[in-house]
Amino acid sequence: MCLAIPGKIVSIEGEDPFYRCGKISFGGIFKKVSLAYVPEAQVGDYALVHAGFAINLVDEEEAMKVFELLNQIGEIEEDLNGGERSDEVS
Amino acid sequence: MSVPENFHPVCPLPIKDYPQVLLAHGSGGQLMHDLISRIFRSSFHNPLDHSQHDSAVLPSPGRKLAFTTDSYVVHPLFFPGGDIGSLAVFGTVNDLAMSGARPLYISAGFILEEGLSMDTLYRVACSMAAAARKAGVSIVTGDTKVVDRGKGDGLYINTAGIGVIEHDSLIDPASIEEGDVIIVNGDIGRHGMAVMATREGLEYESQITSDSMPLSFLVQDLIREHIPIHCLRDITRGGLGTTLNEIAQTARLSLIVEETCLPVQADVRGACEILGFDPVYVACEGRMVLFIPQAYAEKSLDVIRRHQDCEKACVIGKVREPDPRGLVFSLSPIGVERVVDMLSGEQLPRIC
Amino acid sequence: MKYLDEYRDPQMARKLAREIHRMTTRPHVIMEICGGQTHAIVRFGIDVLLPAQVSLVHGPGCPVCVTPLELIDKAIDIAARPEVIFCSFGDMLRVPGSEKDLFSVKAQGGDVRIVYSPLDAVQLAKDNPKREVVFFAVGFETTAPGNAMAVYQARQEGLGNFSMLVSHVLVPPAMQAILSSPQNRVKGFLAAGHVCAVMGFEEYEPIAKTYQVPVVVTGFEPLDILQGLLMVIQQLEEGRFEVENQYARAVRREGNRPAQEIIKQVFEVTERKWRGVGSIPQSGLKLRNEYLSFDAEQRFELSDYTRDEPGECKSGLILQGLMKPDECPSFGARCHPQHPLGATMVSSEGACAAYYRYRRVSAGEDQREKKGGV
């Protein structure tokens, strides 16, 4: 359920918060999306878009944390394998 | 494109302009002859058309012929990168090219809805003429009918085509062998998403243009370079996934493709993501799959990539083994295999 | 595409899978709530990478699948009326009602239109003042703010020709219903990431505590799902039962407050019937009194009726995670996408459809046996 896709806000229009809209780029196609639920959104932010509405902004810092965790796992593996990395899954 | 200055249909009634198709234009009388003469014949410029007979008698090169027909009922009539007219010509040219034939002659049958704008019809005819020139074929014969308003979707076109086979190979699913590579001649999904961008309720701003183009020159080049082509199939409605399934089932072989190898333009991908579409099932028009022995893969790609809009041609997979179920498998981006099924209907935009 | 492709990296996926293998010492049954997660799991083959002791069951997180038969029939009734323009998300068009689906209504001349957003339906109402425009408001909490906004704007602008057929459902009550069932085997949950983007995850804390199950808010890409599974399994192995957030790049604990505000303003909680499962109290949304004039059931005076499902369809058991699609006797035989017996085979997010599309041949099973672990 809930297909929501991240896209970059390239322009914003509308003064009334309920009618505020953004033009959002998804790989180069653009869709006009309601920003009513992300009043803090600025041009350049990434928004998660579902059925024509931005339901949240993507937090870049948190996005990176996933990869930090994965790198940590890589280090644990090295220790367990006595310093040898195994990237192959049988 | 607007109606040219010298466009003046003659009529017994003192009405000079016919901005719309009337039922009378299909009745076989003067109005119909005028329409055919001014709109079709003048556009198609057929040097063999002297006698205006029911069929066109054409010089035969004395070899095997390929013959095909298809009907075009597309909506909208005009879309970024083409229209129903160019589609009708390229579609039939491509069907001929898939057996390795050199396309020569096309027929064009029109079913027009009363009320269709004459300007629209003229634009379509000009587009067909341009497409025929581009593909190196002649539109030599045709038919025109008009139906009551409300009984047709504006305009339908049927084209049939004849081509000549100048090689000895059997380019057919029966010729496919285990280990053959599967090549696609460019990025997929552009036609479907170009049309979708204009669809009411789903519009998005895009630069995507249809990939509609003639494939015959490309095929002729491959034949000239002595590439042993086992099979060709053009990808149309239902996309790459459907085409591969059709071939796998006909040939009773299993195929495997690698998802990360499928060439998809970034904006086509973006449009697919927001509507929930899988690019593998999105319609193409100027794209085909080729089944070629592994040893000729590199050479084939060199030949294909020389052609306009085919720079992204690549190997996407290979033929696995005989399998009466004729299944198509795909290696997912995380390296796990899964089945690529035939779509049951058209893809619908989803929120789920 | 940014924030999508990075989460499909095969090396990272394998790393996470290996870590899951290392950590798993005993059997675990985990449910992913959301149909989008089911789709991703089956499509990318994520379950194939897991140890055999980890069993994934698919939850009822497909609003299309759980929309009651009665409501589909009401939609069909309304859509067939000549004065109506019936707007819907594409998902709903092929879901079978008692006799037919919305697609056939369209084929028979009904004005049925697919829209991308509920605001498109509002625009249609403005552009067609002489027609009645009805929007099929189906969805979980993710879609509720958008549907609320549509009604809110329609009221602001005095659109007398716009109404909504509401079929909203809520996740936490469904989870509780599953956990309270005596047949339940689920010991941990991947919560629906986009539902939580809107609602936050505070409401899962009492559930985790009462039923002693770990709940991890999870995204939809392969790395998200694998990481979410890792976090659930870690909790299960350590005997913890907390709510954690894997999808932190899109979800905050308090969720999206402006979105929640408008949901409260326009909707109120009500009992809802879930197709194949039954009625769950406090599990749906309906329009508040102030907005009832926009309720299509009222406007078209549709009476209440009940419908029975064909006995053969086991989608209810599948939605509760009590049966897998390929364990159903009709799967692939009497029931397949061209001839679906129930909603789970029709909806692209339905577990049965996902299994049929990607798994008919049990390619997954073969591989798990061959691989025997990562």
Mean pLDDT of chain A: 84
Of B75-89, B240-254, B334-348, C76-90, which gets the smallest average pLDDT? B334-348
Q: Are C1 and B269 within 8 A, CB to CB?
A: yes
Q: Does C234 touch chain A (CB under 8 A)?
A: no
- Does residue A50 have a pLDDT over 50? yes
Reading the block at residue B240, the tokens are 């790459």
Tokens 């896709």 belong to A5
Nearest to B350 among C45, C91, C113 (CB): C91
Q: Which residue has the higher pLDDT, C282 or A69?
A: C282
Predicted confidence pLDDT, tens digits, chain C (374 residues) = 888 888 998 888 999 999 999 999 999 999 998 888 988 898 898 988 999 999 998 888 788 778 888 899 999 999 999 999 999 998 888 888 888 889 889 888 899 999 999 999 999 999 999 999 999 999 899 999 999 999 999 999 999 999 999 999 999 999 998 899 888 899 999 999 999 999 999 999 999 999 999 999 999 999 999 999 999 999 999 999 999 999 999 999 999 999 999 999 999 999 998 887 788 899 999 999 999 999 999 999 887 777 666 667 777 777 777 788 888 888 888 787 767 777 777 666 677 877 777 765 654 444 443 343 33
* Phi, psi of B132, deg, nearest 5: -65, -40
Q: What count of residues does chain A have? A: 90
Q: Are B351 and C89 within 8 A, CB to CB?
A: yes
Report the pLDDT value the prediction gives residue B1, as an integer from 0 to 100: 45
Among B280, B336, B347, B348, the strongest candidate for a mutation testing the C interface, having the largest count of C CBs within 10 A, is B336
Q: What is the DSSP string of B33-80?
A: HHHIIIIIIHHH--TT-SS--SS------SSEEEEEEEEE--SSSEET
Q: What is the pLDDT of residues B227-258, one digit of tens each?
A: 999 999 999 888 999 999 999 999 999 999 99
Measured between beta carbons, the chain C residues lying within 8 angstroms of A50 are 142-143, 146, 194
Nearest to A58 among C146, C195, C250 (CB): C250
Give B211→chain A minimum CA distance, Å: 17
| CB-based contact C211:C181 (threshold 8 Å) | no
Q: Which residue has the higher pLDDT, B346 or B176?
A: B176
Q: Searching chain B, which residue's CA lies closest to the CA of residue A48? A: B274
Residue type, B253: L
Measured between beta carbons, the chain C residues lying within 8 angstroms of B270 are 1
Report the pLDDT value the prediction gives residue B12, as an integer from 0 to 100: 38
| CB-based contact C275:C71 (threshold 8 Å) | no
Query: Left if phi > 0, otherwise alpha if psi is -120 to 50, otherwise beta: which for B332?
Result: beta
Q: Are B334 and C347 within 8 A, CB to CB?
A: no
| CB-based contact A2:C194 (threshold 8 Å) | yes
- Does residue B6 have a pLDDT over 70? no
Helices (H), chain B: 30-35, 42-44, 84-97, 118-135, 190-196, 216-224, 239-251, 266-275, 297-305
Of B40-54, B77-91, C2-16, C277-291, which gets the smallest average pLDDT? B40-54
Q: Which residue has the higher pLDDT, C101 or B179?
A: B179
Give B262→chain C minimum CA distance, Å: 14
- Between CA B81 and CA B92 the distance in angstroms is 18
Q: Does A58 touch chain C (CB under 8 A)?
A: yes
- Between CA B304 and CA B289 the distance in angstroms is 12
Name every residue whose Cβ is closer than 8 Å to that of residue C330 and which is 6 or more positions away in sequence: C312, C313, C314, C341
| CB-based contact A18:C150 (threshold 8 Å) | no
Report the pLDDT value the prediction gives residue C278, as an integer from 0 to 100: 82
Q: Are C45 and B336 within 8 A, CB to CB?
A: yes
Report the pLDDT value the prediction gives residue C373, as an integer from 0 to 100: 35
Q: Does B19 touch chain C (CB under 8 A)?
A: no
Reading the block at residue C30, the tokens are 């985990």
Report the pLDDT value the prediction gives residue C351, as an integer from 0 to 100: 77
Report the pLDDT value the prediction gives residue A86, as an integer from 0 to 100: 41
Residue from C115, C114, C102, C113 nearest C146 by CA? C115
Q: Give the single-character DSSP code of B348.
A: -
Which positions 215-234 of C are in contact with B (Cβ < 8 Å)? 222
Helix (H, G, I), strand (E, B) or coil at C38: helix
Q: Return the HEC string of chain A.
A: CCCCEEEEEEEEECCCHHHCEEEEEEECEEEEEECCCCCCCCCCCEEEEECCEEEEECCHHHHHHHHHHHHHHHHHHHHHCCCCCCCCCC
Mean pLDDT of chain B: 87
Q: Does A3 touch chain C (CB under 8 A)?
A: yes
Which positions 5-24 of C are in contact with B (Cβ < 8 Å)? 8-10, 13-14
Q: Are C87 and B201 within 8 A, CB to CB?
A: yes
Q: Alpha-carbon torsion B7, B10, B14, B18, what sign?
A: negative
Q: Are B202 and C45 within 8 A, CB to CB?
A: no
Q: Give the single-character DSSP code of B324.
A: T
| CB-based contact B222:B291 (threshold 8 Å) | no
Nearest to B274 among A23, A49, A89 (CB): A49
Give C19→chain A minimum CA distance, Å: 7
Q: What is the pLDDT of residues B103-147, one digit of tens each?
A: 999 999 999 999 999 999 999 999 999 999 999 999 999 999 999
Report the pLDDT value the prediction gives residue C159, as an integer from 0 to 100: 95
- Between CA C126 and CA C111 the distance in angstroms is 16
Report the pLDDT value the prediction gives residue B48, as an integer from 0 to 100: 58
Q: Are C1 and A26 within 8 A, CB to CB?
A: yes
